[in-house]
A and B are shown apart, each in its own frame.
Chain A
Amino acid sequence: MEFDTLQVRFGEIAHVVSSNFQKLPGSAMLARYIQSSYQNDPVRSAIELILVLFFIRYLMSPSYSTHKQNFVKLREGEIEELIDEWTPEPLVADQTLIEEIENEKLPVIVGPTGPKVKLSNGRTAINLASYNFYNFNANDQIKEKAIQTLRTYGVGPCGPPQFYGTQDVHEKAEADISSFLGTEACIVYAQTFSTVSSVIPSFCKRGDVIIADAAANYSIRKGLQISRSNIRWFKHGDMGDLEKVMKSVVNEQAKSGKLTRRFVVTEGLFETTGDVTDLPRLVELKEKYKFRIILDETWSFGVLGRTGRGLTEAQNVDPQQVDMIIGSLSGPLCAGGGFCAGSKDVIVHQRITSSAYTYSAALPAMLAMTASESVKLLQSNPDVLVQCRENIRALRAQLDPRSDWVVCTSSLDNPILLLALKPEVIKARRLTVDDQEKILMECVEESLANGVMITRLKTRPYANAMGAKDGDWTLQPSLKVCVTSALSKKDIEKAGITIRHAITKIMTRKSANKTI
């Protein structure tokens, strides 16, 4: 019964299909053609059928090979054996001697950070190791604001900015920073370290060209690595070399007729050398060769310029001519997080494509508010900068010209004095990078033993970072001495003398000579 209806139904459908087929223009011709061509030729039919089947299989198969080319087929028993035999390396290697000493000697601060700190060994030391240049950390006005914010917002925003993590304090901080800097817009990240390494890949994609300064800091290198762009390097701070590289990139692209995005990545004040970029020249080159500038002002924002607006203020460049300015709120501003300032398009684009912004929780409201407050403080009270610069001069005078052993590579206004061993000393004693590290580590210890806490520029992570092997630039291990305006000139000078003596003591020690 059911079968019958099915048959009838099938017949109907077949009828409809054939009648529709006949209605198509040219269908009769097609039918005739097929009929005639297959009538007497079963071989041809078979071949064509196989072709059709092959075609279908080809369409269905994935477009890439599913197995690596040199896949070795193994029997189950062999696989089991291999699995039994395989012994992995330990998850982490053993600590090296220098790492062990470093961990052990790491100073632990008890209580707040400031110009003078208490250490866990019970002693008090002068702190020339933190970025608290203006001692905003001890500012009562900022503290009060932070507590007020705590009492209205709690601590964490409990969500990423796109999902209800954006609070009005973040918007206020962004507006404050962009109006301070003089850019159209600004975006606040939850951590400085990850800001630039997330900004770069949000704009630079595969195929784009980035020209980076050879001395770029670790974060930038990580950003370059993620971006998968075409990376070129230019000699540190050498605008002539930059122009040469730019020209060659432009020529190449003109030849291939392909215009990609092109960027120059450099720093305001360099983390690794402490010197400064020639921004007016850079902007000139940018306009000439059509590159966009990503300027990492992590160490210059809040430091350079009359009111601390950074490199653009110090060198009288319109900030709108720099496409992206990246800065830190966690250093001298004593808040937390980082920011990127630029045109509106640039900022809006980051809000969903920059991974450190979209995939991370927003900055705690207290820290955003603190950032707003310290920007306001800088604006209303540029005297702290003047005072800080005086201290920089005083400290520098004690270290750079008077020491036989070290030379300061930092620019004159940089509150972070990087002291590297003099090239002639290195040459005379044939010191490797590791030796220098060891000597400087001892200098840090000696200085702390005499009541002045300083620190070192860490070079080890750079060994594996991108670009370290390219070019002739090598990272120079240095001492890092951070000036603060909270100390009197006398104290600073005294601290400078202590550091100088500590260096001399280590360098003239018998054992130091022995290692030669």
Chain B
Amino acid sequence: MPRRLANPFSSSQSAMSASEKTGERRLSSSKTNRLSQLFSSSPKSKDQAAMHQSQMSTISPSTVSLPTISLSTATGESNTVEPTTTLFKPQSAEEVERRQRVEAQFGPLLSPEHLYTSQAAGKPFERPIEDEAPYYYLLTTYLSYLALILFGHVRDFFGKRFGDRKRYQPLKIHNGFAPLNDDFDSFYTRRLKTRLDDCFARTTVGVPGRFITLKDRKSDDYNYTYRYTGTYTETLNMSSYNYLGFAQSEGPCADAVEECVKKYGATFASPRADSGTSDLALEVEREIASFVGKPDAMVFSMGYVTNSSTFPALVSKGCLIISDELNHASIRIGARLSGAVIQSFKHNDMGHLERVLREAISQGQPRTHRPWKKILLVVEGLYSMEGTMVNLPGILELKRKYKFYLFIDEAHSIGALGPHGRGVCDYYGVDTSEVDILMGTLTKSFGANGGYIAAEKHIIDKLRSTNASTIFGEAPAPSVLMQILASLKLINGDICPGQGEERLKRIAFNSRYLRLGLKRLGMIVTGHDDSPIIPVLLYNPGKMPAFSRQMLARKISVVVVGYPATPLISSRARFCVSAAHNKDDLDRMLIACDEVADLLQLKYSTGIAGGLDPLPEGVAPEDEAEWRKNTGTPIKAPRWKVEDVIRRGVVDCKLPLR
């Protein structure tokens, strides 16, 4: 009887199960972990203290969140809970285990206060203020790269002559074959990335939900090869694009998928244009179209291909693609394949975009000065490396004047933004008819795979016959389609009413809470306040592996990114917040970040980008600038104590962030 889950002891049991988990984790903890614990105050004890504190401060959280936390509502059972029958009945071991598994994928909501609606507050679009680190860090970053490059070249020079023959063979002419990799091309990979290779492609097991289980591995030869130690580590998952927490192996979606596999098998074994079009695919397309607010839509089996095959179908020679400089690689590949001329504009810079547009339209095509056939502006809704959102209102204003077509890649924003999870248009309250083409992936928020294109019916009809991946590429698998369908219905409230809304509100709260917390700790965080992608700048390349390993030692998995995915100097760690996290998880994250930031000197924000100390009584946030002028209070660099961050976070993150 899953109904038993909703008993008033659930929160204390969740604490208990968490401590049990930590016990397990200790067993598998590695040496580095113990060492780091020696040097830092133990994260575990703080963790539990924080958990305890949160329980004290909220009024019987379990009863309040009763209808929403339990995934048991998903099974469609009636919701009449009889507390007297379940109150004192001890749970069977099986039940406890099942609940632990469910909660490892999707954390229970601790308090109804931990909800927020993601929505533009009606203010004009503001570019997030970019904070800058002191010159010392910039200088040392350049010096680090210089040292890496020098050492790399010296090692290459001697390695090719005296080094291990097998390792250097791909770089040399061998048996009349030119080297497979240019040593220049692969220099970065071999000499820089190999050093931090253990932070990438960590093998995982099981569901990438609230927690993610890593297969422990070790390298005896400086990351050339790995061997598995046979142990596993369960870590807090701040890395997966699991925005709405649909990475689950239990619950309504998984049940629907299981039924679907039983009925449909694993595949349609054919492209859409041959015999891969099924009733299921059409239903999913209808559902997606109505979800994003467009008349028609089509699905693809891969997000990357959605972009790379749609551009050639939309534009050709004689057309112009104007693309944000930070657009994703799939857009660039698609644009290149299309044969159109490509121009980029500075990230989110409307002034620059307008200059580019004016020049493009007035000058026409290069050399011939013929007018462009059409101009397609390509932007992303939410940028995956920066956490910034597109300035949609600004673009639409330009669109009215300059008559270009607008293509928005909502790979990260669909599901993650907007009061209904319908992406940037929903977030800004913009009518979707103003955007010509909405593209998105189904990998991220929906826990499935693939991508979609939504547009007017005549556009989709034409694309069906001209898009190469519809004609030659495999149709999406039935299981994937069903996952999309079930998760969309859940978000819409068609099944398990309330659960979808809760997920949307949780990710909005979590994003703001963690972002504000990190800013208050003094770290430099980029991006918009409501974005669930939270990049923290690290600068020095050496800090990338250090940060990742330190977080791993604290049982948190994070993504670190450096050149070439980012500009050379701004290496960063990127946290992806999910609706599956609850406040305890974020507090654990904040505590860990606080420790690691102290260890690695990451607190260098100046305060101009937010996270400031609270204003004194009687000063409203709007009057802050005036107050500062009158009293001569300068902006102080924020260096909050982590206890204060956690104490004030819930209330403050719902106010305009400052």
A→B interface (CB under 8 Å): 68, 70-72, 74, 78-79, 82-83, 86-95, 99-100, 102-103, 106-114, 117, 120, 127, 129-132, 136-139, 142-143, 146-147, 150-159, 161-168, 171, 190-194, 203, 205, 217-219, 222, 225-226, 259-262, 290, 292, 330-332, 334-336, 345-346, 349, 351-353, 355-356, 358-361, 363-364, 366-367, 370, 453, 455, 458, 460-461, 464, 480
Contact = CB atoms under 8 A, between A and B. Distances in A.
Q: What size tier do the contact residues of chain B reach? A: 35 or more
Contacts of A370: 266-267
Interface stretch (B418-426, B468-476, B506-514, B528-536): B468-476
B314 A164 contact: no
B373 A335 contact: no
A71 B363 contact: yes
B16 interface: no
Given A290-B175, A349-B181, A355-B330, A113 B449 contact: no
Contact of A82 (B202, B203, B361): B361
Contacts of A117: 275
A467 B361 CA distance: 32
B262 interface: yes
B205 interface: yes
Contact of B269 (A95, A131, A142): A131
Given A361-B303, A363-B449, A364-B449, 14 more contacts: A92-B313, A99-B466, A108-B279, A109-B278, A130-B269, A131-B270, A150-B479, A155-B448, A156-B443, A159-B208, A166-B203, A290-B177, A364-B480, A461-B468
A162 B242 contact: no
Contacts of A89: 373-374
A171 B472 CA distance: 27
B333 A150 contact: no
Contacts of A163: 200-201, 239-240, 559
B206 A152 contact: yes
B240 A79 contact: no
Interface of B: 105, 169-170, 173, 175-182, 185-186, 189, 193, 200-209, 212, 214-215, 237, 239-242, 246-250, 253-254, 257-258, 261-270, 273-279, 282, 301-305, 308, 312-314, 316, 328-330, 333, 336-337, 358, 361-363, 366-367, 369, 371-376, 401-405, 436-437, 441-444, 446-449, 458-459, 461-466, 468-469, 471-474, 477-480, 483, 557, 559
A99 B373 contact: no
Contacts of A153: 206-207, 249
A94 to B, nearest CB: 8
A260 B301 CA distance: 36
Contacts of B204: 157, 164-168
A372 to B, nearest CB: 12
Contacts of A110: 278-279
Contacts of B301: 190-191, 336
Given A137-B265, A143-B262, A156-B447, A113 B275 contact: yes
Contacts of A262: 178
B374 A91 contact: yes
Given A137-B266, A205-B182, A359-B329, A109 B472 contact: no
B302 A360 contact: yes
Given A155-B479, A164-B212, A359-B330, A203 B180 contact: yes
A171 B203 contact: yes
Contacts of A460: 465
B239 A88 contact: no
B241 A79 contact: no
A111 B405 CA distance: 38
B261 to A, nearest CB: 5
A193 B273 CA distance: 14
Nearest to B561: A163
B265 A143 contact: yes
Q: Which of A155, A165, A171, A455 gathers the greatest number of chain B CB atoms within 10 Å?
A: A155
A262 B176 CA distance: 11
Given A361-B443, A461-B472, A88 B181 contact: no
A72 B250 CA distance: 64
B377 to A, nearest CB: 12
Given A92-B463, A129-B274, A167 B205 contact: yes
B385 to A, nearest CB: 12
Contacts of A345: 169-170, 180-181
